[in-house]
Amino acid sequence: MEKEKPILGYDKFLMMAIIKEGPLSLEELWEKSMLFLSLIWYQQLPGKGQPLMERLFFKATRLRSELEEVRNDKSNHGAEIEMDKLIKKGWINLNKDDKYELTKEGLSQAKIYRQNIKKEAAMVDKELKPSTTAMNTTFLDAFLAFLKLGGGLISGSMGLIADGSDATMDTVEAILVWLGIKYHREKLSTLLVVAGLFIAAITVLFDSITHLLATFGGHAEPITMPYLVIAVEGVAILSAFFLFYYQRFVGKINNSLTLISQSVDSKNHIFIGSSVIIGAIFAIYGVYFVDALIGLFVGAGIFRDAVSLLREAIFAERGGEEDYSKEYKLPLQECWEENRLIAFRNWILYLLWEDQQRTRKEIISSLHSTFHPDNYIPVLSELKATGSEPYDFDNKFKNLIKPLIEEELLIEEIEEYLLTEKGEEHLKNFINSFNNYDVRRSDALLLAMARDEKEDN
The DSSP string of 371-434 is T-TTS--TTTTTTT----S---HHHHHHHHHHHHHHTTSEEEETTEEEE-HHHHHHHHHHHHTT
- CA distances to 262, 287, 383, 453 from 456, in Å: 19, 52, 15, 9
The answer to whether 261 touches 192, Cβ cutoff 8 Å, is no
User: How far, in Å, are 58, 430, 438 from residue 68 at the CA level?
Assistant: 16, 19, 9
Size of the chain, expressed as the number of residues it contains: 457
Angle at 201 between CA 310 and CA 258, to 5 degrees: 35
Q: What is the pLDDT of residue 103?
A: 93
pLDDT for the residue numbered 93: 93
In this prediction, residue 435 carries a pLDDT of: 67
Q: What pLDDT was estimated at residue 72?
A: 42
Count of H-run helices and E-run strands, the chain: 17, 6
Return the SS3 of 3.
coil
| Cα separations in angstroms, 203 against 28, 169, 230, 249, 339 | 62, 12, 21, 28, 42
pLDDT of residue 323: 54
Closest CA to 199 of 265, 260, 135: 265
Q: What is the mean pLDDT of each run of 10 residues along the chain (457 residues)?
A: 48 88 90 84 59 59 56 56 86 92 92 89 87 90 86 71 74 82 77 79 80 72 74 88 87 81 82 80 76 74 78 71 60 70 89 82 90 86 78 90 91 87 87 72 74 51
SS3 assignment for 254-290: HCCHHHHHHHHHHHHHHHHHHHHHHHHHHHHCCCCCH
Largest Cα–Cα separation, the chain? 90
pTM of the model: 0.69
Q: In what order do the strands lie in the sheet with 24-25?
A: 24-25, 99-102, 92-94
Rg of the chain taking only CA atoms, in angstroms: 26
CA 14 to chain centre: 25
For residues 271 and 163, the answer to whether their CB atoms sit within 8 Å is no
Q: Which of 147, 153, 206 is nearest to 171 (CA)?
A: 147
